Amino acid sequence: MNISTFDLNLLRVLDALLRERNVSRAAEHLALSQPAVSNALGRLRDLLDDPLLVRVGRAMQPTPRALELEAPIRAALRQIEESLSEGSRFDPARSRQRFTIALTDYAEMLLMPRLLARLAELAPGIRIDVRHLSPRLPAEALEKGEIDLALGRFEALPPRFVGRRWMSETLQLVARRDHPQLREGLSLDGFLRLRHLWVHGGQTRGMVEQWLGEHGLSREIVYTTPNYLQAAHIAAGGDLVAVLPTRLARYFAGLLPLKLFDLPFELGPFHLEIVSLDLRSRDTPLQWLIEQIQALDQA
């Protein structure tokens, strides 16, 4: 294909169609008429020799070729936009940006009250949307621009992403205060005999399982949940125990009938990162937001 004869405006139309999966909504997003968007889609189909979006019932579904193009086209459009706006100064106080962040309920509780207070003072027009962090890095959503940042513990990042240190944390075991198996404290044998609930916290394998596996040991996990906050309430109301981040464990020990125990083996701290797409390293508003998040744990 000869790029010199390709109408680059068509890429904006394709991006909108892939976001909306609907001609009318894409037209509204682009401030164009519906016939204009339909005509652009017809031209794209001819140029790329692919139907791109096909009607399935009432919805339009992208073809494999369209899905293959979605992330690189969106990244290219974003890079062009950032390059063209480099000369315009980002003013947090006047910004109306909207950011989407993926994180666990624990990280949300730890971060958002302080971040929202900071934004209310410095950038009251900025809006934050939160998505729950799945057990894996939401790479596709980050590449498509559906998520701006992911905050969590990630084993290894693909080269196209950048991770910045957010905070460090340790783990403790929480159990109800009168737990019958913990009257004499917590030993390794006692830990293994307990019935556990596990909070995956955006992970497919936790630090405890990794340590136990390396030492040929295992524990009985009878309940798994993605929710840290619910885990504390379950532990307080029954005989299941949970290994939770220390800050969260201490917080709930002040609210619920819980007792905290140091783990009977050495794990050391773990680190939470702020992850974004490397292509957005020159996105001034996003970098400003990252700096605000990092500053909260340095104050």
Confidence at residue 235, expressed as pLDDT on a 0 to 100 scale: 96
Q: Is the dihedral of CA 289, 294, 296, 299 positive or negative?
A: negative
- pLDDT over 90 (residue 194): yes
Q: List pLDDT tens digits, range 245-260.
A: 999 999 999 999 999 9
Question: Which pair of tokens denotes residue 38?
Answer: 């339909």
Give the burial class of 199: count Cβ atoms within 10 A of its Cβ; 0-12 exposed, 13-18 middle, 19 or more buried: buried
Nearest CA to 92 out of 290, 299, 238 is that of: 290
Longest alpha-carbon distance in the chain: 78
- Across all residues in the chain, what is the average pLDDT? 89
- Asked if domains 92-168+271-296 and 171-268 share a fold, the reply is yes
- pLDDT over 70 (residue 201): no
* DSSP notation for 197-219: EEE-TT-SS-HHHHHHHHTT---
What's the CA gap between 16 and 30, in Å, rounded? 7
Residue 28's pLDDT band, with cuts at 50, 70 and 90, is confident
Confidence at residue 146, expressed as pLDDT on a 0 to 100 scale: 87
Instruction: List all residues 6 or more positions away from 10 whose beta carbon is below 8 Å from its beta carbon.
Output: 40, 43, 44, 47
Q: Which residues pair with 53 in a beta bridge?
A: 62
Confidence at residue 125, expressed as pLDDT on a 0 to 100 scale: 94
Residue 9's pLDDT band, with cuts at 50, 70 and 90, is confident
Q: What letter would DSSP give residue 295?
A: H
pLDDT mean over 179-203: 91
Name the residue with higher pLDDT: 159 or 115. Answer: 115
- pLDDT over 70 (residue 87): no
pLDDT mean over 162-186: 93
Q: 3-84: what fold?
A: Arc Repressor Mutant, subunit A (1.10.10)
Domain boundaries, the chain: 3-84, 92-168+271-296, 171-268
CATH code that applies to domain 171-268: 3.40.190.10
> What one-letter code names the amino acid at 215?
H
Percentage of residues of the chain with pLDDT beyond 90 = 50
In contact, 284 and 97? CB cutoff 8 Å: no
CATH code that applies to domain 92-168+271-296: 3.40.190.10
What's the CA gap between 182 and 192, in Å, rounded? 12
Confidence at residue 4, expressed as pLDDT on a 0 to 100 scale: 64
Q: In what order do the strands lie in the sheet with 220-225?
A: 220-225, 195-199, 241-245, 171-176, 258-261
Q: Which residues pair with 261 in a beta bridge?
A: 173
Task: Report the Cα–Cα distance between both ends of the chain, in Å, rounded.
Answer: 53
- pLDDT over 60 (residue 210): yes
Instruction: List all residues 6 or more positions away from 232 whose beta carbon is below 8 Å from its beta carbon.
Output: 174, 242, 244, 248, 249, 252, 256, 258
Confidence at residue 21, expressed as pLDDT on a 0 to 100 scale: 87
Nearest CA to 198 out of 177, 184, 212 is that of: 212
